[in-house]
A = this chain, B = another copy of it.
Amino acid sequence: MPEKEVSKLSIYNSLSRKKEEFEPINPPFVGLYVCGPTVYGDPHLGHARAAVTFDVIYRYLKFLGYKVRYVRNITDVGHLEQEETEQGEDKIAKKARLEEVEPMEIVQKYTISYHKGMDLLNCLRPDIEPTATGHIIEQIALIKKILDNGFGYEVNGNIYFDLEKYQQENDYGQLSGKILEDLQAGSRDTAGIDEKKSPHDFALWKKATPAHIMRWDSPWGEGYPGWHLECTAMSLKYLGNKFDIHGGGLDLQFPHHEAEIAQCRSAHGHDPVNYWVHNNMITIDGAKMSKSAGNFINLDELFEGRHEKLAKAYSPMVVRFLILQSHYRSKIDFSNDALSAAEKGYNRLMGAVALLNELKSSPDFSDAEGSLDKEILDACRKCNESMNDDFNTAQVLAALFDLSSKINALHNGQLSKTDLSKNALHEMVNTVDQFVFAILGLQAESTGEDGLTDELIELLIEIRKEARENKDFATSDKIRDELQEIGVRLKDEKGGTRFEIDR
């Protein structure tokens, strides 16, 4: 049991549909697998939400003292255009055809683009980032096992998973709540047109057409793996035959994760995962994000304000903050209003963090317990308890805002520093530091990486102060006005002049 835990961590398990206390299989080790991107386009808000969600879960598990192995795959083959029916071109092969390059050039280009976007959002890189094309042998071995156990069949060089056979002793639909019979009934019309025994049987291996570039030799001829297969092969390879947490977007619950369970159960006779965790979806101005609706916003368009839906650019930390303001199981609507509110919230929080840094060296705090102590310590405790309550970052931010108000009031003199004990101050400093930076993964947005900006502004503030003392108001006003023009606002306060930079 890690030391730092106060209450116990509980996680909402999509499989049981309830919150469960978290018990790792082999503490202090935790295995975490998250479905990564199919790298055929630039990352967008959907990618951002999933990445930030599981980044915070990864960070928090490490904060609790667990040794986490975080595996997130790169899908670089096998993901077809029509996911449900498994028809159409491979997404990466299609993009390669359109851009007139080799498929692996598409993979390289958009893997770099994905990493860049997630780095800007301050998401830690996973510990292992396996690719589907890099694990063809493991996938073929898994298919063999499924075939040996009687849960697959071959037709014309394609291998399908036999859902009817599986259903005899298992429950396909257990995770998503879908009922196989209803599904089959709903798609009866298409049942006859393909070679599958049953319309929801999914492909384990697809025969390559002559034009298909991405192809490998297999016992069933040249082809490529089905989309659901890679995650089973790679998660089990790197995390063991049964592991702790599997994450992904809610849109992957069916059929992708359902198929993963079926593949593992039919190969190994047991469930692959103890806790299934799904982040909810995003909407844009209330509508589903889609290319046809014209509300499909890439991260770089967002960060640079290059999209007709956007009133301005929003920084990576503002996007991260907006994502964290909701619990990961709630929907999030991205709109200019929501982004603009998140920007204000983020700036307010980071402003308080900066003030706390000034406060902490003040000698005015009390040695004895103060009247403010309880409220402060309660807010600190709430941060821990909210994270333990299924990673409720929304509640953590609420508690941090309680602390921010106190910090502002202590700074302004509306609250007296003598009402706060040094102990409570220390606890607040620690909590803010841990939760804002280490756990929520927020960071101050750089406004001058060389560190010169602050020093130059401080010099201007000093010159202005002297000018005012010399009654040279022309100069002092000029400094204030010209700074204002380039986005630096001076605030004259009791203790001196502070500045804020518009981001």
Chain A residues close to B by CB (< 8 Å): 69, 101-102, 104-105, 107-109, 112, 125-131, 133-137, 141, 216-217, 238, 446-450, 452-453, 455-457, 459-460, 463, 466-467, 475, 478-479, 482-483, 486-488, 501
For residue A131, which residue of chain B has the nearest CB?
B134
Q: B109, B112, B137, B447: which contacts A452 (Cβ < 8 A)?
A: B447
Q: B69, B112, B459: which contacts A125 (Cβ < 8 A)?
A: B112
5 other A-B residue contacts (CB within 8 Å) besides A104-B130, A136-B137, A446-B449: A102-B238, A141-B217, A459-B479, A463-B475, A463-B478
Residues on B with C-beta less than 8 A from A126 are 108
Q: Is A455 in contact with B486, judged by CB distance below 8 angstroms?
A: yes
Label chain A's interface by main secondary structure: helix
Residues on B with C-beta less than 8 A from A448 are 448-450, 452-453
- How many copies are assembled? 2
How far in angstroms is the closest Cβ of chain B from A235? 13
Q: Is A238 in contact with B104, judged by CB distance below 8 angstroms?
A: yes
Residues on B with C-beta less than 8 A from A104 are 128, 130, 238
Q: Is B141 in contact with A128, judged by CB distance below 8 angstroms?
A: no
13 A-B pairs (CB sep. < 8 Å): A69-B105, A104-B130, A104-B238, A108-B128, A133-B134, A447-B452, A448-B449, A448-B450, A449-B449, A452-B487, A453-B456, A459-B483, A460-B463
How far in angstroms is the closest Cβ of chain B from A216? 5
How far in angstroms is the closest Cβ of chain B from A51? 16
Q: Is B108 in contact with A129, judged by CB distance below 8 angstroms?
A: yes
Residues on B with C-beta less than 8 A from A482 are 459
C-alpha spacing A10/B438, complex, angstroms: 54
C-alpha spacing A482/B463, complex, angstroms: 11
Q: Is B216 in contact with A488, judged by CB distance below 8 angstroms?
A: no
Closest 9 CB pairs of A and B: A134-B134, A456-B456, A448-B448, A104-B128, A447-B450, A105-B127, A455-B486, A449-B449, A452-B453
C-alpha spacing A478/B463, complex, angstroms: 9
How far in angstroms is the closest Cβ of chain B from A484? 11
Residues on B with C-beta less than 8 A from A109 are 127
